[in-house]
């Protein structure tokens, strides 16, 4: 069905400007953009009344089966986890997010959900997924990950995830905040182990990302040819230079430590997680600032599902990026066209252009003027269909 979205204020995320225009959509694709378009016969007209239209937002680091409230009991079976994940997908839509990358969920549920969203059985953002993360025995994420030791076993683990249908292979280069008994700066999977994983992924056309917080672990991942660094808490000049030379991406997830410290032990966050976060928080913020300023390719992700880091909280990451020194336009660019480039879908998504899919995030007030306005989504459109309306 044809739809005409009238009286919108369109954000051009590449030119970093806004303009008034209507958008004609047919079969889920943008067919025409311009002022005062006439509605074709039989088209539905949606009057946006001057609201600001952004490309649908991306969140490139989510854990779709995870519940961010640490006080709630954990689901005890796959059925309960799946119901929780479906509800989380709806939350992403309610914040203007039309595309997510899951970087580690329980029991391959994310892979099945990707297919269910794709064929319309479940309403949610489009998805790329990684299945279970690959970690060393007892390493960060071991409770839900695929534990593997040595290059041969890591190679087999990668092949298992690829066989299951993973788009990305997620590895654990270092310890982290949320696993008891490991430290964020500690090295975990070795260069040889991660190289084996990266080789298998790349042979099949899949990509790799890594939880990497400590400096040595980040450099190990870069030596192994990992495509995207997640968190990147302790980045130095050498690591940043290598990322620039190799074209490695960074997804900083500023939200993750922010909300752990905001709610703390009083909110039910484990003491060990709060202690570790207090150590890394300022380094994390500074590393993102340094990397972005140097020109490292940055995409948007929140680590949704970690304590008090909600699945409708993608806009919070943009607010934190602006606090780190980005302009509102730069933060929006990171969550739209830059993230689309990371996921290899920038030919069909990430900007509002004729020929691209009609994925829109619509806000009453303009986020380019005040980034706080991005926290109040009034409508989300996916493939030309209104999938959320406030």
Please identify which residue in the block is written with the tokens 């066989």.
Answer: 163
Contact 244, 204 (CB under 8 A): no
Query: What tokens were used for 186?
Result: 């500690």
Please identify which residue in the block is written with the tokens 């005890």.
Answer: 76
Instruction: Please give the model's pTM, rounded to 2 decimal places.
Output: 0.96
Q: What is the mean pLDDT of residues 175-182?
A: 78
Q: What is the mean pLDDT of residues 40-67?
A: 97
pLDDT computed for residue 244 by the predictor: 98
Question: How does DSSP classify residue 229?
Answer: E
Is residue 45's pLDDT more than 90? Answer: yes
Q: How do residues 209-225 score in pLDDT, each as one tens digit?
A: 999 999 999 999 999 99
| Spatial distance between the Cα atoms of 231 and 256, rounded to a whole number of angstroms | 9
pLDDT computed for residue 1 by the predictor: 83
Contact 283, 234 (CB under 8 A): yes
DSSP string covering 273-299, please?
Answer: HHHHHHHHHHHHHHHHHHHHHHT-EEE
pLDDT, averaged across the chain:
96
Q: 57-342: same fold as 3-55+349-389?
A: no
**Torsion sign across C-alpha atoms 66, 70, 74, 80:** negative
Query: What tokens were used for 167?
Result: 């788009």
**CATH, range 57-342:** 3.20.20.140
Domain boundaries, the chain: 3-55+349-389, 57-342
Contact 176, 211 (CB under 8 A): yes
Flag the least confident range among 107-116, 170-179, 230-239, 305-314. Answer: 170-179
**Proportion of the chain above pLDDT 70, given as a percent:** 100
**CATH, range 3-55+349-389:** 2.30.40.10
C-alpha distance from residue 215 to each of 68, 277, 348, 369 (Å): 27, 16, 36, 36
pLDDT computed for residue 169 by the predictor: 98
Q: What is the mean pLDDT of residues 238-246?
A: 98
Question: How does DSSP classify residue 210?
Answer: E
Instruction: Give φ, ψ of 147 to 5 degrees.
Output: -75, 135
Q: What is the mean pLDDT of residues 177-203?
A: 90
Choose among 118, 106, 111: nearest CA to 63. Answer: 106
Q: What is the mean pLDDT of residues 4-16?
A: 97
Q: What confidence tier does 62 reach under pLDDT thresholds 50, 70, 90?
A: very high
């Amino acid at each position: 069905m044809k739809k005409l979205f009238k009286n919108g204020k369109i954000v051009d995320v590449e030119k970093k400007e806004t303009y008034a225009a209507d958008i004609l959509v047919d079969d889920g694709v943008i067919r025409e953009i311009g002022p005062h378009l006439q509605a074709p016969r039989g088209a539905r007209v949606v009057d946006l009344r001057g609201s600001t239209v952004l490309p649908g937002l991306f969140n490139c680091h989510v854990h779709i089966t995870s519940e961010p409230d640490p006080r709630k009991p954990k689901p005890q079976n796959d059925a309960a986890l799946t119901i929780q994940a479906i509800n989380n997908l709806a939350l992403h839509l309610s914040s203007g997010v039309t595309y997510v990358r899951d970087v580690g969920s329980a029991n391959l549920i994310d892979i099945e959900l990707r297919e269910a969203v794709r064929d319309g059985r479940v309403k949610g953002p489009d998805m790329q997924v990684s299945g279970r993360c690959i970690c060393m025995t007892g390493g960060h994420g071991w409770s839900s990950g695929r534990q593997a030791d040595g290059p041969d076993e890591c190679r087999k683990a990668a092949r298992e995830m690829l066989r299951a249908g993973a788009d990305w292979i997620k590895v654990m280069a270092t310890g982290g905040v949320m696993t008891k008994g490991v430290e964020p700066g500690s090295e975990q999977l070795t260069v040889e182990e991660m190289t084996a994983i990266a080789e298998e992924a790349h042979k099949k056309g899949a990509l790799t990302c890594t939880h990497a917080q400590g400096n040595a672990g980040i450099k190990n991942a870069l030596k192994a040819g990992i495509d995207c660094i997640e968190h990147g808490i302790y980045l130095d000049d050498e690591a940043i230079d290598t990322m620039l030379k190799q074209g490695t991406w960074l997804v900083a997830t500023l939200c993750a430590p922010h909300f752990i410290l905001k709610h703390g032990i009083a909110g039910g966050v484990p003491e060990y997680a709060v202690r570790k976060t207090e150590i890394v928080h300022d380094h994390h913020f500074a590393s993102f600032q340094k990397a972005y300023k140097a020109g490292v390719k940055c995409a948007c992700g929140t680590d949704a599902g970690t304590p008090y880091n909600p699945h409708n909280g993608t806009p919070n990451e943009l607010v934190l990026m602006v606090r780190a020194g980005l302009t509102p336009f730069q933060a929006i660019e990171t969550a739209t066209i830059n993230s689309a480039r990371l996921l290899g879908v920038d030919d069909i998504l990430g900007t509002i252009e004729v020929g691209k899919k009609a994925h829109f995030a619509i806000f009453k007030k303009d986020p380019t003027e005040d980034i706080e306005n991005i926290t109040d989504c009034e409508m989300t459109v996916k493939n030309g269909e209104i999938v959320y309306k406030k």
